[in-house]
Amino acid sequence: MAEVALLWHLHQPSYVDAASGEVVMSWVRLHTVRGYADMAEMARRHPKVKLNFNLTPVLVQQIEELAEGRVKDRWGELGQKSAANLTVEDQQQLLEHYFKINWTTCVEPYPRYRQLLDLRGRGAGAGQSEQSRKRFREKDFRDLQVWFNLSWCGFAVRKRYPELGAMMQKGRDFTEEEKGRVMEIHQEMLRGILGEYRALAESGQVELTTTPFYHPILPLLVDTDSAKRAMPWVRLPERLQAPEDALVQLEKAQAAHQRVFGQKARGLWPSEGSVSPEVIPLMAQAGFEYFCTDEMVLFRGLEAQGWKGKHSELFQAWRVEEGGSAMKVLFRERPLSDYIGFTASRTEPKVAAEHLRVHLEHIAQVMPSDGVVLLALDGENAWEAFPDSGEAFLDEFYTRLRQTKGLKSTTLGGYLGTRAGRPVGRLHSGSWIGGNFDIWIGDPEENQGWCWIKRTRDFLTQAKEGGQVTKEVLAAAWEDLYAAQGSDWFWWYGPDFQTDSDTIFDALFRGRLQNVYRRLGVTPPAGLSVPICATGTQLGTPPVREIEPKLSGTGSYLEWSGAGKYEAWRDQGAMAQGDRRVRMVRYGVGESDFHFRLDGKEPLGEEVILDFHQPSPVRIRIGGEKDGKVSLEKSKDGVVYEAEDCSAEVAGGGGLGLRIPFSSLGWRGDGVEVSFLVR
């Protein structure tokens, strides 16, 4: 008899914009009406199949916030707005975001949705095309609003609300009332989904586990240098060691789990299956009894100790001891887990389910007596690739698992509760991907992100020690920092993975760190306004030659020929252009001076700040048109600035001109990269 533990991981990072409190992408709501509802429904259909679900606290938190209306859902509000009242920007946003769904399974089968996609265009950039927007009429936008939110609904929601099926049959020319009803159903599902999982857990059929609160890579949070154990060649950022933050992430997860589901979690799926010896005492201190990770972590650790055993030794309970703490652990069987997540959707459901049954039976014949097979994988994203959200496959798989005599489904605690576990020895430091941390650290973008976390954390620690900030403000600032420590931002940095939302993830990450400074009444470092993500988008045109223009607020075209140029008005919509005072920024260098010119359509009348990020933090303040004074401040950390003497010259009149010597800026040598913001 082989016991089989199925662990479905449900997770979404925080999509809340730190400054506005608005949810900028609706993946939590959309996966609720598909994957989360479908998985709960399938569990109820098969009450004799034991299951395990890992719900991350940051996901649970967002479900609660959306259900209670504590945050605004940007895409949701866009979908509810009357089609007759959509602005040009609204229409552009709909065309950009309302086709973000699997086209093969969720668009192509529905003639009207497919027609709308063809009307917009399928090529890169079609969502931003003005020509595409003009092809859409009011009823086209209304149908698009309905179809996106309708097509995201999985089999469980369609079964519960037959009216959705009627709308799909109707197909087109939807009313505002029908559109509103789809969104009401989404909201009803958000309000009830956590209760469904709690009820499943209370029935004894399901065990709920958790993950460190904001889904950080715990080993890197404890010590970024731990990445070198599996990747000795890697170039790492300045070392960060924050084991206390790792413990907070674990304790917050445990507290949230108990509040929402009525009891503490016994088991943990560490974010991305990432573990190291140092995190074991922290997990134990937070009250966890066992955890799960990938088979490669086991085998690399055993091989480092000279092990030359059989792969079948994987299928049993293990025990890790470190720093006076002990925890039990199961290591997932990778090929079958990955088969479900990446291949089963391309196979006929009965064939895919039979493939799993046959292989599980084979494992049962070679595994240690009283063994277990852990299949652990993403429990939401895979189902988009199935034509029926995975309904037929899951139904067939669960049925075979229940009916096969040599197989028995189990919860993690049900199996581990009576086993002592075989000693692992020294635990390998790695994750479920490659047995290392390459996805989250080592590339320039990833390292820059870690540098900003360390820099912001150092600032916050100093503020705490200074004792000048209230506990409430400090707590809110630390919460922003904890959110920035999540793994998902680093997933999209570097060359490993790309998405059409890379820049949104980048902005969310930097926004959390900027908010730490703002909460404490400090202007965020200029560098945090510079995208980390290499999008290939160039802001304006860089300088091509040295310039020596005469100092004035206007200047001549020839004098500024070859200067860097940014035409601000081109980056604004028609309404914003009408209220834009800054039209163009020009800048460049001469033999010994930095030159800057700001052109406005009328006298600016405000303070202008040049915030240099590279080669070193320097801030230049230029007073309004009445005083025209210039002050210069320098900083070692980009946060605390001190005034210094400045020999800059400034001129006004229809714009603003500035000339400042390199010596005042502290620039030395050729080839220095310069980066600055204009505030």
pLDDT for residue 406: 93
CA distance 542 to 489: 29
Q: Is the pLDDT at 127 greater than 90, yes or no?
A: no
DSSP string for residues in 533-593: S------SB---S---PPS-SS--TTTTTTSEEEEGGGGS-HHHHHT--EEEEEEEE-SSE
Top pLDDT among 73 and 671 is at: 73
The CATH architecture that domain 444-529 belongs to is Up-down Bundle (1.20)
564-678: CATH class: mainly beta
Q: Is the pLDDT at 481 greater than 70, yes or no?
A: yes
Do 26 and 432 form a contact (C-beta atoms < 8 A)? no
% helix, strand, coil for the chain, step of 5: 45, 15, 35
Nearest by Cα to 451 from 508, 504, 509, 505 = 509
Which of 49-58, 65-74, 597-606 shows the lowest per-residue confidence on average (mean pLDDT)?
597-606
User: What mean pLDDT value characterizes the chain?
Assistant: 92
The encoded tokens of residue 224 equal 């970024």
pLDDT for residue 429: 98
Which of 43-47, 143-147, 462-466, 515-519 shows the lowest per-residue confidence on average (mean pLDDT)?
462-466
pLDDT tens per residue across span 426-459: 999 999 999 999 999 999 999 999 999 999 999 9
pLDDT for residue 268: 98
CA distances from 528 to 196, 317, 367, 448, 672 (A): 41, 46, 52, 10, 20
Name beta bridge partners: 658: 596, 650
CA distance 126 to 132: 7
Q: Is the pLDDT at 537 greater than 60, yes or no?
A: no
CA distance 343 to 353: 12
Q: Is the pLDDT at 563 greater than 80, yes or no?
A: yes
∠164-166-171 over CA atoms, to 5°?
A: 95
∠208-212-218 over CA atoms, to 5°?
A: 135
Domain spans in the chain, listed from the N-terminal domain onward:
25-48+63-202, 444-529, 564-678
Do 171 and 109 form a contact (C-beta atoms < 8 A)? no
Q: Is the pLDDT at 627 greater than 70, yes or no?
A: no
Nearest by Cα to 207 from 432, 418, 422, 417 = 417
pLDDT tens per residue across span 189-223: 999 999 999 999 999 999 999 999 999 999 999 99
pLDDT tens per residue across span 543-558: 888 888 887 766 677 8
Do 602 and 658 form a contact (C-beta atoms < 8 A)? no
pLDDT for residue 658: 86
Name beta bridge partners: 589: 594
Percentage of the chain lying above the pLDDT 90 cut: 74
Do 25 and 504 form a contact (C-beta atoms < 8 A)? yes
